[in-house]
Amino acid sequence: MTRAASSPTLLLSRSDVAAVVDPDSCIAAVEEAFLAHAQGRARGPASLGVLTEDGSFHVKAAGLQGAPGTFAAKTNANFPGNPARHGLPTIQGAVVLCDGSTGRLLAVMDSMEITVLRTAAASAVAAKYLARPESAVATLCGCGAQAAAQLRALSRILPLRRVLAFDLDPARIGALAKTLARDTDLVIEAGADLPAALRLSDIAVTCTPSHIPFLRRDDVRPGTFVAAVGADNPVKSEIEPALMAAATVVVDILDQCAAGGDLHHAIEACIMTRADVHAELADLVSGGKPGRRRADEITLFDSTGTALTDVAAATLAYERALAAGRGQPMDFSA
């Protein structure tokens, strides 16, 4: 898309982003961003995290080169207690998108939908290379805002048909089933026993704010693909270190995962080192390293969320919103 210098700066709400970005296009944009990273066509990514008593803040930034190139910086607040205590979303924030060659401000947009969509897209890209192609049954741990996007994205890549769902709030499982019934054929069932569900599953997705690992080595059967999504700072933990050590581990960004993903806890437990990580996702996308190599291999994607995917999703949202006439034009210099 040719971007005119006279194109307006857009203010995009969450509904604007949701209206113009679909799972398929986001998956394609995210895969291309990882390829750009592998080929040296990306700037960054960089990340800064700050913990508070009740949550955390992080700033993530990256750029993509090309014609035209873009740069994005996202500031997110993540406060898991918000829904129950204050009636506010867990994740709140904004993405600032700029022209990569001139620095011109292109858009300021809500980060919630960007975060949800790009995180799910990264899981889908990882599944393309790491899951068994016939995978049809999934265990889902955590039925919050990320859950529906994860399942929609994964179902674009795999013949997913049945989901055994777990959440501390049973009402969320029912709400998730109603949401997905509108646009998918997925059967969502409330799981009664996590180990039993995992014995039936080809895929396990964890997207919780847990600080205690609950996915254990002895419960995950050979051949499973695990998308570990929730642990994005040093205090969060979903995956038992022994499971990390037994799996073929692929990370989104090695430095981030070693500092704050489930990999961080395996390293702290002294049962893994950075050298034990099979690859970054960019290595698989570029063909630099293989994905799944055996049917009985446990593969695990440690996803801490990278600015590469933020800039990819934000660029897609801006260009589609501009073409569709969505968003509010703004002049921040006035």
Q: What pLDDT, on a 0 to 100 scale, did the predictor assign at position 81?
A: 87
- Regarding beta strands 137-141 and 203-206, do their DSSP bridges make them parallel or antiparallel, or are they unpaired? parallel
Distance between CA atoms of residues 49 and 30, nearest Å:
22
Distance between CA atoms of residues 159 and 134, nearest Å:
6
Of the listed 74, 178, 236, 289, which one is catalytic? 74
Q: What pLDDT, on a 0 to 100 scale, did the predictor assign at position 83?
A: 86
Q: What pLDDT, on a 0 to 100 scale, did the predictor assign at position 26?
A: 98
Concerning whether 74 is annotated as a catalytic residue, the answer is yes
Q: Which two tokens stand for residue 149?
A: 């996007």
Q: Please, are residues 5 and 106 in contact by the beta-carbon 8 Å criterion? A: no
**Listed residue (212, 202, 208, 230) closest to 298, CA to CA:** 202
pTM of the model: 0.94
For residue 203, give Cα distances in angstroms to 48, 92, 215, 332. Answer: 31, 29, 12, 46
Each of the 334 residues of the chain gets a pLDDT tens digit; together they read: 445 667 889 999 999 999 999 999 999 999 999 999 999 999 989 989 898 988 889 899 999 997 679 999 999 998 988 988 888 988 899 999 999 999 999 999 999 999 999 999 999 999 999 999 999 999 999 999 899 999 999 999 999 999 999 999 999 999 999 999 999 999 999 999 999 999 999 999 999 999 999 999 999 999 999 999 999 889 999 999 999 999 999 999 999 999 999 999 999 999 999 999 999 999 999 999 999 999 999 999 999 999 999 999 999 999 999 999 999 999 887 7
Cβ neighbours of residue 211 closer than 8 Å, sequence gap 6 or more: 235, 236, 237
Distance between CA atoms of residues 185 and 190, nearest Å:
16
Domains and CATH numbers, the chain: 9-115+308-330 (3.30.1780.10), 122-305 (3.40.50.720)
Sign of CA dihedral 100, 317, 38, 244: positive
Mapping DSSP to helix (H, G, I), strand (E, B) and coil, where does residue 106 land?
Answer: strand
Q: What pLDDT, on a 0 to 100 scale, did the predictor assign at position 67?
A: 66
Distance between CA atoms of residues 170 and 52, nearest Å:
28
SS3 content of the chain, % helix, strand, coil (to 5): 40, 25, 35
Residue for token pair 């997925």: 186
Q: What pLDDT, on a 0 to 100 scale, did the predictor assign at position 333?
A: 77
